[in-house]
Chain A
């Protein structure tokens, strides 16, 4: 860790996320590599993953939206239905990163994480769309479902043996999962048998909903964090077509249907953290970033009531911090970028937008 010389210099503090407070805003903290492997196999934005590979460490800036979210999570009452938090903001302002920061806090507190890194991936570019085995009017996506189950297994390994199924699930004539089996078996079933993996996802989500707030005995109690990035995909349009060349509705996809059930607050003992995303969305204009625009009427009605958290571009202090971090890591190679004028130029070109600044500094 580098010692701070004055307030604005970023210090890479390996802090536990519980101790982040207003005073730390603008400073960087390091994500422990073990946590990154377990918690975020696919959760982080791709540019950030490249940055981790280059710098050999993942440093996240502590910013007000994430701090706000964490303070709400600390003070919420978990015997009541879960609160829905929606991160919204313009493109590239750091919604996904704030979500990951809050998720890291939940993980370090020992919650069970249900993380959908990008719901848009379930709604477009699916190579295989099978008609569902259980219900006639639905469609399955085996590849996406099994991928998600694998990630879920990596993230929540310690819970898999503790939780048990509450009812009997029949997959085919010969395969079924009995009542009282550990959750790990259910997930293995889904990973091995691709055909029923979407139904397994639905079953897993149902089990988690039932058991999240229910058990108040010491061993079984856990809090559930549902984190969905790109939540506007659940209520928008899909770009998938059925066999008779008509467009597929989101309700007809098993994965989306089950995820929508999770979004309702008829369970207790957890929190729902979501972030809107325009970049992956289908058929939405680039200038739309407000919840009402991206979620649409149906989505807004379903998600209401929610706590909106707005994410914006860097302010002066955060920009300073980011610039000094890049200087510190020798990321800014061009001699001019190290001068005052170069810095003003960077401010002008990027308008202090985090993603644009990162792309600019990448080739300087």
Chain B
């Protein structure tokens, strides 16, 4: 038992060269910086007590420097800022992100979340090769993938389709407000994807997974 655990804990270097995968072993747990983690024992159900005990015993990954324990931090917002960041300048990306929140006056937090919800596609397309020809097959998407696509479209839209002199944060705030109202280019792109998937429904049985 001890030997197998030691085997899990020793530094694990993968045989393949991995670019975006985590260097951590799967034994490590994610850190939980929120203040709710410190709830007194009497209020927890038995499963949660087990979980707490597990956390005290198992190894935990190091927290990122952008994680805060304050409720002001938003995981969705952090993800969006990371995606918008170029050359590692998180300060610039965060600065650009705070300005549309100033422009959007009524409750920017919920506007941002609702706008991204409206941009998420329900169904996606995957390229499947059959008989020498590749077909676009409609395919269900995982939640992560949907969120990623929504944010990616938002960022590319704001970077590309704008007047030369508009700033990123102005275009972002306009797009977020439009997406909140289900108009605008990003929502249009989502509808285009849905239409393509609808048009290609004949090939749906090419999917084997």
Contacts and interface: CB of A to CB of B under 8 A. Distances in A.
A283 interface: no
A336 B72 contact: yes
Contacts of B98: 362-363
Interface string B98-116: 1101100111110000000
Nearest to A363: B101
B108 A333 contact: yes
B70 interface: yes
Contacts of A328: none
A77 interface: no
Best-buried of A337, A345, A363 by chain B (most CB within 10 Å): A363
Interface in A332-346: 333-334, 336-337, 341-342, 345
A345 B107 CA distance: 19
A54 B71 contact: no
Interface in B90-144: 98-99, 101-102, 105-109
22 contacts: A333-B106, A333-B108, A333-B109, A334-B72, A334-B109, A336-B70, A336-B71, A336-B72, A337-B72, A341-B71, A342-B71, A342-B72, A345-B70, A345-B72, A362-B98, A362-B102, A363-B98, A363-B99, A363-B101, A363-B102, A363-B108, A364-B101
A333 B71 CA distance: 13
Interface residues of A, number: 11
Contacts of A336: 70-72
Contacts of B102: 362-363
- Chain B interface residue bracket vs A: 10 to 19
Nearest to B102: A362
A309 to B, nearest CB: 31
Given A362-B102, A363-B101, A363-B102, A333 B107 contact: yes
A80 B98 CA distance: 52
Interface string A45-72: 0000000001000000000000000000
Interface string A306-345: 0000000000000000000000000001101100011001
A364 B105 contact: no
A337 B101 CA distance: 15
A215 to B, nearest CB: 49
Contacts of A363: 98-99, 101-102, 108
A342 B73 CA distance: 12
Contacts of B101: 362-364
Contacts of A337: 72
Given A54-B105, A345-B72, 15 more contacts: A333-B107, A334-B72, A334-B109, A336-B70, A336-B71, A342-B71, A342-B72, A345-B70, A362-B101, A362-B102, A363-B99, A363-B101, A363-B108, A364-B72, A364-B101
Interface of A: 54, 333-334, 336-337, 341-342, 345, 362-364
Interface string B62-102: 00000000111000000000000000000000000011011
A333 B111 CA distance: 11
Best-buried of A333, A336, A342 by chain B (most CB within 10 Å): A333
Contacts of B72: 334, 336-337, 342, 345, 364
Contacts of B106: 333
A341 B35 CA distance: 11
Contacts of A362: 98, 101-102
A337 B108 CA distance: 13
Contacts of A334: 72, 109
A54 B101 CA distance: 14
Nearest 4 A-B pairs (CB), nearest first?
A363-B101, A336-B71, A362-B102, A333-B107
Contacts of A345: 70, 72
A308 B104 CA distance: 41
Contacts of B105: 54
A334 B109 CA distance: 7
A341 B71 CA distance: 10
Best-buried of B98, B99, B106 by chain A (most CB within 10 Å): B98
Contacts of B71: 336, 341-342
A362 B99 CA distance: 9
A129 B190 CA distance: 54
A338 to B, nearest CB: 11
Nearest to B106: A333
A54 B98 CA distance: 17
B70 to A, nearest CB: 6
B72 to A, nearest CB: 6
A239 B71 CA distance: 45
Contacts of A341: 71
A310 B18 CA distance: 58
B94 to A, nearest CB: 10
Contacts of B70: 336, 345
Interface string B138-161: 000000000000000000000000
A165 B94 CA distance: 56
Nearest to B99: A363
A227 B108 CA distance: 39
Nearest to B107: A333
A250 B3 CA distance: 78
B158 to A, nearest CB: 18
